[in-house]
Amino acid sequence: MLRNVVATLLAVSAFAALPGAAHARLQCVTYARQISDVQISGNARDWWSNAEGSYARGQEPKTGAVLAFSGTKAMPYGHVAVVRKVVDSRHILIDHANWSGPGMVEKGVMAVDVSSAGDWSEVRVWYAPTKSVGLRASPAKGFIYPRTMTAQADTAKPAKG
């Protein structure tokens, strides 16, 4: 059943990629700031550390959170993407820019947690040129939660004591 859901979502993701014509050469950080309530400056690789003290961070995907990727040789400036929908603990749909092509905006594409610990530290992301989730896993720091989400989550949970 879960395989069918994931297969369907992957197929739908293929049609969700939008050309960046309206957002020519749009970078991932600019796009993430435009569509989310997380307002951080700096390169994507710095968002995780720049969020400290201003935004809650964690390893659980939540709609509206920003997934922060580490910088690597392949993507030296890192990457950020906004969670559109949580499918399950290992699959999410994201909106982001500048992944499958320069300035290209993609909405509702699949990201899969492939980390052995299930902590979103290694992620494969839909890559339009291959019409599949990427062949290489990209390292990620975790999720940065908007302040509005944190406030709602804090009031909804009973205090431990």
DSSP states of 23-42 as a string?
A: GTT--HHHHHHHHSS----S
On the question of pLDDT at 123 being above 60, the answer is: yes
Q: Grade residue 68 by pLDDT with cuts at 50, 70 and 90.
A: very high
- Give the model's pLDDT for residue 24: 52
Summarize pLDDT for 32-65 with one digit per residue, the tens: 999 999 999 999 999 999 999 999 999 999 999 9
CA angle 69, 35, 71 (to 5 degrees): 15
**92, 63, 97: which is closest to 80 by C-alpha?**
97
- Give the model's pLDDT for residue 3: 55
On the question of pLDDT at 104 being above 80, the answer is: yes
- Give the model's pLDDT for residue 25: 80
Six token digits for residue 60 = 């659980």
Question: What is the H or E stretch that residue 128 is in?
Answer: none
From its phi and psi, is residue 123 left (phi > 0), alpha (psi between -120 and 50) or beta?
beta
Domains of the chain with CATH codes: 2-148 (3.90.1720.10)
Give the single-character DSSP code of 103: T
